[in-house]
Structure 1
């Protein structure tokens, strides 16, 4: 085996170890937050609004540390384009979802972040403490889910949504659900698209963490200019039709951006 092949193989083995170490640290950190940090927060901070603010800040910096750890260990590199746009409040952030850690990236770099979490995360050993303390929106709220999303935006929080509802399939075809468009239309909320590019692809839908690529992964988080909602709500169409047209527009938008990066 040539020296270059040996270096490549050694690098891949190191990244496999570093990836496993990083995810183990993530899990252990979640348990520590659940068992030690957040109980102390509940004890010392009695006012729910302030407690939620601190909980979300703790999660943000914990996720920032996790991303920093993976970068330090050489698992990945990342670039954030348009980060200054995330300094605002009341943003409805819509992102594509190529990788398992997309959520971690956005939660790490978006201040005042709120998100919709699956009910399973409310009962998961590693995540239940953080998501409950931070009062994120449970997707099992039924008819109240839409109102909760609009309310958190009006309260100045930045709501992160992956309108695909799950990670992008292996064929790369982005198919959006209509929930995010309904929030934008009914809440008269402009949208801030975030295009996430991951090269080479890793931690995709149905892909185990140990199936790492041959080379180091590069993430690009591109915060795009806002999409004004008025062009969809001032056409005279019903809210249902406006949400449908917006979803079609966004699906074309994200697929076009993906093709541009390919």
Structure 2
């Protein structure tokens, strides 16, 4: 990010510190993920089947919680996530947040240990995340039919399911197009959908943000709960209703612009 002329030594030092914090944060996430993948691989071979998911999900929750705490201590981010704690111990349901940035899943998982997650197939095959994701029983998204079947099965087994209604990061404000898979899974599993709202004051890691581009710090994230919908009976009608609800509820929320207006600045 370019600096204004005459910024002075204090400004230069602050910028250098932010770069140090930024790359330290990326390195810490990579290190935690790789270490857990190395440990998860042998655990998947020796743990009894009934303990695999529980162990895998608990460790990932603890790891992400420590990572977010580290970001807070370093001054990179400020998180308000306590609203998610009220969902612990609740019956099976779909947790449905809006999806402004790549940190959204980490924030939700860090507070809910009994959580299944639908992931891109390339992440499940990734050296940093794959073994840990497989041990935790996370669900690949490369087959729609298989994804829905496994998600319904997991919910019937007593888990929560993290499912972003858009299926990907938002490509417009306040929310992109909601996909019908969330309604279909909720209908088949006969579980409610708990909406969650994520607000942020930064476009960091939103759609179109280069992964290694440093943002201004600290970044603020706030999570609060929305309406809980009963299991739907009409998939198409409910999908439209859910999209309208998100658009209305997030109309005044603190969200970045799409695409980030300064994403191409030097």
Measured against the shorter chain, the TM-score band is 0.7 to 0.9
Give me the whole-angstrom Cα distance separating, in 1, the residues matched to 2:240 and 2:158.
Answer: 27
> Which residue of structure 2 aligns with residue 123 of structure 1?
125
User: Displacement, 1:52?
Assistant: 2.0
> Which residue of structure 2 aligns with residue 247 of structure 1?
239
Closer, same or farther: CA 252–186 of 1 in aligned 2, 3 Å: same
Hey, which bits of structure 1, 4+ residues long, moved more than 6 A? 1-5
Could you report, residue by residue, the CA deviation over 1:76-115 in whole angstroms, capped at 9, with x for unpaired residues? 0011252343111312101111011101111111120101
> Which residue of structure 2 aligns with residue 22 of structure 1?
25
* TM-score w.r.t. length of structure 2: 0.85
Give me the whole-angstrom Cα distance separating, in 2, the residues matched to 1:156 and 1:6.
Answer: 56
Give me the whole-angstrom Cα distance separating, in 2, the residues matched to 1:44 and 1:13.
Answer: 46
Give me the whole-angstrom Cα distance separating, in 2, the residues matched to 1:194 and 1:100.
Answer: 16
Closer, same or farther: CA 171–190 of 1 in aligned 2, 3 Å: closer
> Which residue of structure 2 aligns with residue 71 of structure 1?
72
Closer, same or farther: CA 44–244 of 1 in aligned 2, 3 Å: same
Number of aligned pairs?
A: 250
Give me the whole-angstrom Cα distance separating, in 1, the residues matched to 2:205 and 2:85.
Answer: 27
Closer, same or farther: CA 145–61 of 1 in aligned 2, 3 Å: same
User: Which among 103, 106, 110 is matched to residue 105 of structure 2?
Assistant: 103
Could you report, residue by residue, the CA deviation over 1:112-153 in whole angstroms, capped at 9, with x for unpaired residues? 010111110122121111111112111124423222211111
Is 249-258 or 176-185 further displaced after alignment? 249-258
Contact persistence 1:174–1:254 (CA under 8 A): no
The SS at the match of 1:261 is: coil
The SS at the match of 1:212 is: coil
Q: More helix by proportion, 1 or 2?
A: 1
> Which residue of structure 2 aligns with residue 181 of structure 1?
183
> Which residue of structure 2 aligns with residue 239 of structure 1?
none
CA RMSD of aligned residues (A): 2.3
User: Displacement, 1:157?
Assistant: 0.5
Closer, same or farther: CA 180–205 of 1 in aligned 2, 3 Å: same
User: Displacement, 1:170?
Assistant: 5.5
> Which residue of structure 2 aligns with residue 258 of structure 1?
250
Is 48-57 or 203-212 further displaced after alignment? 203-212
> Which residue of structure 2 aligns with residue 54 of structure 1?
55
User: Displacement, 1:75?
Assistant: 0.7
Contact persistence 2:41–2:132 (CA under 8 A): no
Contact persistence 2:151–2:161 (CA under 8 A): yes
